[in-house]
Amino acid sequence: MDLWLREGQVSDAVMTYKVKQTLIREKTKYQDLAIVDTYSFGKMLVLDGIVQTTVRDEYVYHEMITHIPLFTHPNPKRVLVVGGGDGGSVKEILKHPAVEKVVLCEIDSEVVNQCKKYLPEISFALEDPRCQILIGDGIKYVREHKDSFDVVIVDSTDPFGAAEGLFGRNFYSEIYDCLTENGIFAAQTETPFYLPGEVKKIYENVKSVFPIAKLFMAGIPTYPSGFWSFTLGSKKYDPQSVDLSSREDINTKYYTKKLHKVCFVLPKFIEDLTR
């Protein structure tokens, strides 16, 4: 008998994956957590029935959410990741030689524990001495650490349920205060194909707080529609005009310095969401 994972993140469409083996499934304090091994995408982290990351395509999401803000900032020494318990964002952040410390604030300790156990290809950088792992409420942590980080990455689940507070204007205002005077923030901000209203609302919230707000895109096969948005908020530096010629190259599979500039060129139906 074939075993299939059926994901229904959006109400009128589903994605299905043929599963080799369920490695773990448990109900944590916050969510239903599963790690499965699939035929098409390898090992896959699934939270509340929604695919978060896979061994095969994780590099797209994690490179774009991190390298766009980190290459935009001239000297990112201290970085905060809110969420991101799988460790993929930390893995990419620590490729930047300027980074001295990464704080990972993840609310669910079991995400960290099980990803360390079953997804070492993604989570291995969590063992790096430059990474500090804190288990707790990211909103509270941001509120209590003003003027503390050069870059803040919000690597969260979708804006429903427990993560809803990570997408509001109040939280973005607190991130602004958490950043240093030339700080930059970036977050995943959903699919403009299925959830254009959410994308527009999030962008407008960021724009109301940061003097520079930019939406950018990436193609992520396992996310609904495969067409995913991120939003950047910056106090000073424009990611489209920054000079990258002197920045040290790093090992990537998706991000390039050329892509850094063109990912902000949006199809018209998405560009309209930012007006």
Q: Which pLDDT band holds residue 266 (cuts at 50, 70, 90)?
A: very high
Kindly report, residue by residue over 100-139, the tens digit of the pLDDT: 999 999 999 999 999 999 999 999 999 999 999 999 999 9
Contact present, 162 and 125 (Cβ < 8 Å): no
Q: Which one is catalytic: 32, 48, 155, 238?
A: 155
Domain 58-274 has CATH 3.40.50.11900: no
Identify the three-state secondary structure at position 65: helix
Within 13 Å and on the Cβ side, how many CA atoms surround 189? 32
Which residues are paired to 6 by β-bridges?
A: 16
Binding-site positions for spermidine = 62, 86, 155-158
Within 13 Å and on the Cβ side, how many CA atoms surround 274? 21
243 as an active site residue: the answer is no
Which residues are paired to 34 by β-bridges?
A: 25, 46
Kindly report, residue by residue over 188-245, the tens digit of the pLDDT: 999 999 999 999 999 999 999 999 999 999 999 999 999 999 999 999 999 999 999 9
pTM for the whole structure: 0.95
Residue 214: is it exposed, middle or buried by C-beta count within 10 angstroms (0-12/13-18/19+)? buried
3-54, CATH topology level = Spermidine Synthase; Chain: A, domain 2 (2.30.140)
Binding-site positions for S-methyl-5'-thioadenosine = 31, 106, 137-138
> What are the structural domain ranges in the chain?
3-54, 58-274
- The identity of residue 99, as a single letter, is V
